[in-house]
Chain A
Amino acid sequence: MAVAELKSESLSTIKEEHWFTIIGRRFLRHKLAVVGMIMVFIFLLMAIFATVIAPYDPYKQGLAPSYSNPSPEHLLGTDELGRDVFSRLLYAARISLFVTVLVNFTAETIGVIMGAISGYFGKWVDSLIQRVVEFLLTLPTLPLLLFFSAILRGTTIPGLPDEWSKAIIISFVLIAFGWLGSTRLVRGMVLSLREQDFVQAARALGASDWKIITRHMIPNSLAPVIVNLTLGLGGVIVLEAALSFLGFGITPPVPTWGNMLQNVQERMWQQPWLAFYPGLCIFLTSLSFNYIGDGLRDALDPRLKL
């Protein structure tokens, strides 16, 4: 009897933990995700403290002869105009990270909401959203992005430095075409969840549509969205690079990882490090984001024992 009492007592006095700390602890058990987190953190620090870390002004030309090899003065050498590549890489991190994070989080959020609405309400709402999505998907992305960038090229957001206003404008263009995939993903998930008994139970309890969507639909359809998001984080850096290369994204002299990569096309065989380092940055960021996404998805799934 005493033993039973003791047992039930120890069980009932289990410390109550905040949901967030539980998720955090589960996340920390995913080693690669933690490594990814650290990597992203380092990149963020590099971007934030670029002014302090960078040994040279990234726009200053003729610091050394064009295309000079890496040396103690110029750690990663210089580019075609004699600018310090290492400094430019640090400044590029600012814009590249900003654009990719802004675009992906906004686009996925829009996608989740639109997908949930589309799948949950069905009927004409679903038809309307899906036809719009399908229409946008059939359009070839790159020419369309070029078109919009061309229209918006002249516009600037007042009160912001030129490169940031450009970054925000290009982000909006990318967001406009970035929400399609996750909309379809979430719609599919919601369609299958809608008929499940626990959703019917919520309805029988009197839950509003909004509550059903936010408490039952979205939490249960988040896993593929997180994967989609982490894949997208790398993708947008590359897409921005393509736009920049064609002269419609963030144009030189403002450095981004994308346009740095594109700038050195012709010299790739003579000075491979010029392409290697921006490429490495893109690669490492997207890889890190991917692992973070993996860890997050696992941490958020209560069915997985971690």
Chain B
Amino acid sequence: MNNTTKNPQEQPDLLVVKNLTKHFPVRSGLLQRVTAWVQAVDKVSFAVRRGETLGMVGESGCGKTTVGRSILRLIEPTSGEVSFEGRNVLTMSNKELKPLRRDMQIIFQDPYASLNPRMPIGESVMEGLQIHKIGAPKERWEIAINMLKKVGLEEYHARRYPHEFSGGQRQRIGIARALALNPKFIVCDEPVSALDVSIQSQVLNILKDLQKEFGLTYLFIAHNLSVVEHISDRVAVMYLGKMVELTDRESLYREPLHPYTQALLSAIPKPHPGVARDRTILKGDVPSPLNPPKGCRFHTRCPIAVEKCAVDEPEFKEIRPGHWAACWLAE
């Protein structure tokens, strides 16, 4: 996790996030004064290694998407540091950021909202090339069509409009758009959760193939643990704006350290109904991020919480080599 300044090409970590925090102001009253803060993401730290897929799971509203978008500065984080190949993204001006946009892209969750309805999809895919003035106008169209072919669409599709495609096709168009700039890193913001199961696997396989072909690094945000298990090398678990556990896929699914992860894993449906299950059922709801619990944010629902958990916040630390967790009781 700690990187000294070596040649950026040799660093194993492509992206390092340190203490990333995003608090959204809540305004109310006549003068729209800030009356409260939603602590969407609070001091999240992790690193993404070159060429890996880091899965990020957590339930709705836990801040996964905010993390993904903050990394790309689609949301301006409140504080923290995001360094991509050793350069801090958050302190860059828009001008400095522009060339970096070629290296970092995003794929969105909702295939129906992620394409401009009034633009032929070929143009959507070509847009990044135009912005960065890559190639001559004629070549750009060729590149766009090549990208569409890479995601299984045909040349004649390029002049059609988004409404003429199915959800899965649109999602693949979104992937082609992200890929057109030949990025190194892609934030996949729940790219399959809006799709049918059969289409999900299709899109996941395309993502995997493209990763191999282009040497891509993914931050794969999802709330479906099976999907994450299928695609990730390492998995990070978030709860209420905090990262609670981060480790490689095998350790996470075999021996989760954090009680929240344990509860999540026990909720995955098993294909054989007869198999005895040891379910950890959490009580109550996720507390509001407006006023998160003191101490460990999970202590209100934790089945094994002790007194200390309600007072002091556990540090997110490496409990075993390569296995981070934020729990007082984990060892």
Contacts and interface: CB of A to CB of B under 8 A. Distances in A.
Contacts of B108: 197, 200-201
Contact of A201 (B97, B98, B156, B174): B174
A151 interface: no
Contact of A11 (B104, B156, B174, B181): B156
Contacts of B128: 205-206
A207 interface: yes
Interface in B104-118: 104-106, 108-110, 113-118
Nearest to B109: A197
B102 interface: yes
A12 B102 CA distance: 30
A31 interface: no
B44 to A, nearest CB: 20
B197 interface: no
A204 B106 contact: yes
A200 B131 contact: no
Contact of B161 (A207, A208, A302): A302
B163 A303 contact: yes
Nearest to B113: A197
A219 B174 contact: no
B101 interface: yes
A202 B161 contact: no
A37 to B, nearest CB: 23
Contacts of A206: 97-98, 101-102, 128, 131-132
Interface in A153-212: 196-198, 200-208, 211
Interface string A117-145: 00000000000000000000000000000
Given A12-B154, A12-B156, A205-B101, A200 B69 contact: yes
A205 B181 CA distance: 8
Interface in B54-109: 69, 72, 74, 97-98, 101-102, 104-106, 108-109
A8 interface: yes
A29 B155 CA distance: 28
Q: Which size bracket describes the interface of B in this complex? A: 20 to 34
- Chain B CB within 10 Å, residue with most, of A14, A201, A202, A207: A201
A153 B157 CA distance: 59
B299 interface: no
B177 interface: yes
A196 B104 CA distance: 19
B119 interface: yes
Contacts of A205: 101, 105, 127-128, 131, 177, 181
B166 to A, nearest CB: 15
Contact of B74 (A11, A198, A204): A204
Given A197-B114, A302-B161, A204 B105 contact: yes
B90 to A, nearest CB: 15
A215 interface: yes
A62 B72 CA distance: 78
Nearest to A195: B113
Interface in A50-102: none
Nearest to A8: B154
- Chain A CB within 10 Å, residue with most, of B72, B104, B118, B156: B118
A11 B17 CA distance: 47
Given A203-B74, A205-B128, A206-B102, A198 B116 contact: yes
Contacts of A203: 74
A302 B116 CA distance: 11
Contacts of B106: 200-201, 204
A302 B163 contact: yes
Contacts of A216: 116
Nearest to A22: B159
Contacts of B98: 206
Given A196-B113, A198-B124, 8 more contacts: A8-B156, A204-B74, A205-B128, A205-B131, A206-B97, A211-B131, A220-B117, A303-B117
Interface of A: 8, 11-12, 14, 16, 196-198, 200-208, 211, 215-216, 219-220, 300-303
11 contacts: A8-B156, A14-B159, A200-B106, A201-B106, A202-B116, A202-B127, A204-B72, A206-B101, A302-B118, A302-B161, A302-B163
